[in-house]
Amino acid sequence: MSECVVFSQLSRKFVDQNDETPPQAQQVIYYGLAIGHHLGVIDCLEAALSCPWQDYLKWIATLAPGSEARRKMEGVPRYGEIIIDITHAAMLAGAFSQAIESQSAQQQTWSRRLLDMLHNIHRENAIYLMVRRQHG
């Protein structure tokens, strides 16, 4: 049984289109979207990066001990999953950029991919990442 960590990125959102929803209720859904609520919205996540569990632990160990970035990434072993959104993007980008020089070639590849995803979040702050530990 192999374990891994998967970074899934928001690829699109759509409104649940139920043909039986009355027009008045659909208007509530669209109003909710307009004011930032996710009423009736389905997020589609797409796997964008995957690494073996033990390698993930070694990778995040390259971040500065006690740093906010390291604590954030240690949420995966602690809770099984974390969400990375616009509020984390700059902090994590700085930390992984700083750590990249001390990383192995494989870790640098993962860091560069993560930095690309963080850049996407910075450009479009509706994008986020779901990072999950997966068994099997």
- Read off the pLDDT of residues 47-96 as tens digits, 9 standing for 90 and up: 999 999 999 999 999 999 999 999 999 999 999 999 999 999 999 999 99
Q: How far is 35 from 30, CA to CA, in rounded Å? A: 9
Residue 66 lies in a domain: yes
Residue 28 in any domain: the answer is no
**Contacts for 88-91 with beta carbons within 8 Å, 24 or more apart?**
89/118, 89/121, 89/122, 90/122
Residue 56 placed within a domain: yes
| Residue 95: how many other CB atoms lie within 10 Å | 22
Instruction: Indicate the pLDDT class of residue 22, thresholds 50, 70 and 90.
Output: low
Domain enclosing residue 129, as ranges: 3-11+45-135
CA dihedral 8, 9, 12, 18 (to 10 degrees): 30
In a domain, 74, yes or no: yes
Classify residue 37: in a domain, yes or no. Answer: no
**Beta-strand relationship, 41-52 and 81-84:** unpaired
pLDDT category at 44 given cuts 50, 70, 90 is confident
**Residue 111 domain flag:** yes
In a 13 Å sphere around the CA of 73, the CA atoms on its Cβ side amount to 26
22 domain residue, yes or no:
no
Q: What domain count does the chain have?
A: 1
Q: What is the pLDDT of residue 35?
A: 53
Both structure tokens of 19: 């043909």
Instruction: Report if residue 99 sits inside a domain.
Output: yes
